[in-house]
């Protein structure tokens, strides 16, 4: 999951383009399937969820007697190889891919996290979301005499410590039913011991989490697209406030809190894969419908509708369908550009967006372009893009945005810029804001879809959606320290993690508890 800092304005400086994009924190996957290669199923499940986190990946496998965890920094395909996968044999597994905040890209903060209970069982846990009462939970852990994992500074580590402590004299399932009602914020969890797979979703269901069926087992995943990759059939969404336990006796469901659904609308707009389904609604269909509604709200006189690939593509298709303006590919995306750990030189930095996108000059020269993008955060990407299109010969550039203006930070698992850095902030009126942003990015015209039309496209009741990053209405109460400013809050939470102390580092290639469990470190 995320670092103890709830949000972070600055990502790795290695990719200026990526710094302007909102980022999901994590993807989680779990499988219980005796007779199947659960490690490889987890690998492919995480591969399907790679867009949710690109800085670290890990898999834990249980075979009935021990839990083995392997994790490292990097993409899923970089972390795992055939030799590693061959050593991970069992019938139950959880996997995690992580996007971390500044300063927390460390092996210790990668997941699944691992803990050993006093009873000798191993617990491996993966977390997607953000907790808002981490300081309180850390204080409780400290009062119980618990210590943090060496070098770890995540809210997930605190949660794992409390679960392991609760399972000292009872089952993990019983411990989870005691701990989870005290956890506040957004969390989708997959966790396991040597025999059983568990999955839980916070009472608001902010992040998606679903249950799927294999021929010989069960899977859970952040997005349904992962089911398609591993050959599972969708069964249902895991309910907000629900805990699932999956073992040889089947699937058991318990409710640890009353459901008050507030699913994240930005999952539909940008975060989720277009081939996923959330709460019965296709993400791709939602984005196409947003484009149609956007065309009705903000028509433009143009010769060609082009998307900012790939996230703007479905909305651009919808815009073209509704407006009657031809759709075309005016920008080519380098499919191999992602997060990079190589610091660019000043010469490369000046290339900016060209590392990621390049215009098709023959297509756009002399054209009045309608450029459809998913969102504007700081505006740096759009400014560079419009300049590039004009240099390539575009006659006019009309920008249409498939989400409302982003004005507020997210405290539930998305890394946005700070409020001061959000380009839509600081304007006295909506009209003044739109024109101010238009001038800042250099567009001939600019139109955002309204909040109401964006939500209608999801086909979900507005009362069951969280749109806090657009309207500032946070469904989960935030700690009072939030008003002190992000820098102060980050420091406070970091100190809370450090208060747990550090344990001696376990030899990564040896057993953590009488050959019951082991953590393997590259």
229-to-70, 140, 224, 505 alpha-carbon distances in Å: 22, 40, 9, 36
Q: Using CA atoms, how far apart are residues 286 and 457, in angstroms rounded to an integer?
A: 5
**CA nearest 302: which of 156, 400, 233?**
400
Name the residue among 412, 408, 410 with its Cα closest to residue 134: 412
- The β-bridge relationship of strands 263-264 and 465-466 is parallel
Tokens matching residue 253:
């469901």
Residue 410 is labelled as binding a ligand? yes
Flag whether 275 is marked binding.
Answer: no
466 is in an annotated binding site: yes
Q: Where does residue 213 rank: exposed (0-12), middle (13-18), buried (19+ CB within 10 A)? A: middle
Distance CA 522, CA 359 (A): 41
Longest dimension (CA), the chain: 73
Question: Could you tell me whether strands 263-264 and 250-255 are parallel, antiparallel, or unpaired per DSSP bridges?
Answer: unpaired
Contacts of 493 (CB under 8 A, 6+ apart): 4, 5, 6, 134, 135, 155
Annotated binding residue 63: no
Instruction: Let me know the angle formed at the C-alpha of 430 by 425 and 436, rounded to the nearest 5 degrees.
Output: 60
Integer Cα distance of 453 and 490 in angstroms? 35
Q: What is the DSSP letter of 43?
A: H
Among 1, 2, 4, 26, the active-site one is 26
DSSP string, 114-166: EEE-TTS-EEEEEEEEEES-HHHHHHHHHHTT--BPTT--BHHHHHHHHHHHH
311 is in an annotated binding site: yes
Q: For residues 434 and 81, what is the distance between their CA atoms, to the nearest angstrom? A: 49
Q: Among all chains, which residue has been given the structure tokens 């019951």?
A: 516
374 is in an annotated binding site: yes
Among the listed residues 266, 240, 246, 144, the one whose alpha carbon sits nearest the alpha carbon of residue 193: 246
Q: Judge contact between 157 and 497, C-beta under 8 A.
A: yes
Contacts of 443 (CB under 8 A, 6+ apart): 371, 382, 386, 397, 398, 399
Query: How many angstroms from the chain centroid is the CA of residue 361?
Result: 35
Q: How far apart are CA 206 and CA 268, in angstroms?
A: 12
The rounded distance, in Å, linking the Cα atoms of 157 and 367 is 54
Would you call 97 a catalytic residue per the annotation?
Answer: no
Q: Of 448, 297, 335, 292, give the one whose Cα is nearest residue 305.
A: 292
Of 28, 330, 323, the residue nearest 191 (C-alpha): 28
The annotation places the binding site for Mg(2+) at 311, 373-374
What residues are annotated to the active site?
A: 26
The annotation places the binding site for [4Fe-4S] cluster at 264, 410, 466, 469
């Amino acid at each position: 999951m995320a670092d103890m800092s709830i949000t972070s304005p600055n990502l790795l400086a290695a990719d200026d383009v990526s710094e302007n994009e909102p980022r999901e924190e994590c993807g989680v996957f779990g499988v219980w399937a005796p007779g199947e290669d659960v490690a490889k199923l987890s690998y492919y499940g995480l591969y399907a969820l790679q867009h949710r986190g690109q800085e670290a990946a890990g898999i834990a496998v249980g075979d009935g007697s021990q839990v083995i965890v392997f994790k490292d920094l990097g993409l899923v395909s970089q972390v795992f190889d055939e030799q590693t996968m061959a050593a991970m044999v069992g019938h139950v597994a959880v996997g995690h891919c992580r996007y971390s905040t500044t300063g927390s890209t460390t092996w210790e903060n990668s997941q699944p996290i691992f803990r050993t209970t006093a009873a000798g069982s191993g617990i491996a846990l993966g977390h997607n979301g953000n907790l808002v009462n981490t300081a309180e939970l850390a204080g409780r852990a400290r009062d119980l005499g618990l210590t943090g994992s060496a070098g770890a500074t995540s809210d997930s580590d605190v949660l794992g410590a409390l679960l392991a402590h609760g399972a000292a004299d009872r089952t993990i399932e019983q411990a989870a039913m005691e701990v989870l009602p005290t956890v506040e914020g957004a969390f989708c969890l997959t966790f396991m011991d040597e025999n059983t797979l568990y999955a839980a979703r916070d009472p608001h269901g902010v992040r998606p989490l679903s249950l799927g069926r294999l021929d010989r087992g069960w899977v859970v995943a952040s997005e349904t697209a992962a089911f398609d990759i591993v050959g599972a059939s969708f069964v249902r969404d895991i309910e907000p406030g629900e805990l699932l336990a999956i073992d040889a006796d089947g699937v058991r469901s318990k409710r640890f809190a009353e459901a008050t659904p507030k699913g994240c609308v930005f999952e539909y707009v940008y975060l989720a894969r277009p081939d996923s389904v959330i709460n019965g609604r296709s993400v791709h269909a939602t984005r196409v419908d947003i484009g149609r509604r956007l065309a009705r709200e903000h028509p433009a006189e143009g010769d060609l509708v082009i998307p900012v690939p790939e996230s703007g593509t479905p909305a651009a298709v919808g815009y073209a369908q509704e407006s009657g303006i031809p759709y075309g590919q005016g920008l080519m995306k380098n499919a191999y550009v992602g997060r990079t750990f190589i610091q660019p030189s000043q010469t490369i930095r000046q290339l900016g967006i060209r590392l990621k996108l390049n215009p098709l000059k023959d297509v756009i020269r002399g054209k009045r372009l309608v450029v459809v993008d998913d969102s504007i955060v700081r505006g740096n990407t759009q400014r560079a893009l419009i300049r590039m299109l004009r240099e390539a010969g575009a006659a006019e550039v009309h920008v249409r945005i498939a989400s409302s203006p982003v004005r507020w930070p997210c405290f539930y698992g998305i890394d946005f810029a700070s409020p001061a850095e959000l380009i839509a902030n600081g304007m006295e009126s909506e009209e003044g804001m739109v024109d101010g942003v238009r001038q800042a990015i250099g567009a001939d015209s600019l139109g955002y879809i309204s909040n109401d039309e964006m939500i209608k496209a999801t086909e979900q009741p507005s009362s069951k959606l969280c749109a806090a990053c657009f309207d500032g209405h946070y469904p989960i109460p935030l700690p009072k320290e939030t008003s002190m400013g992000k820098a102060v809050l980050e420091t406070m939470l970091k100190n809370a993690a450090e208060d747990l102390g550090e344990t001696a580092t376990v030899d990564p290639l040896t057993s953590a508890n009488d050959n019951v469990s082991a953590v393997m470190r590259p």
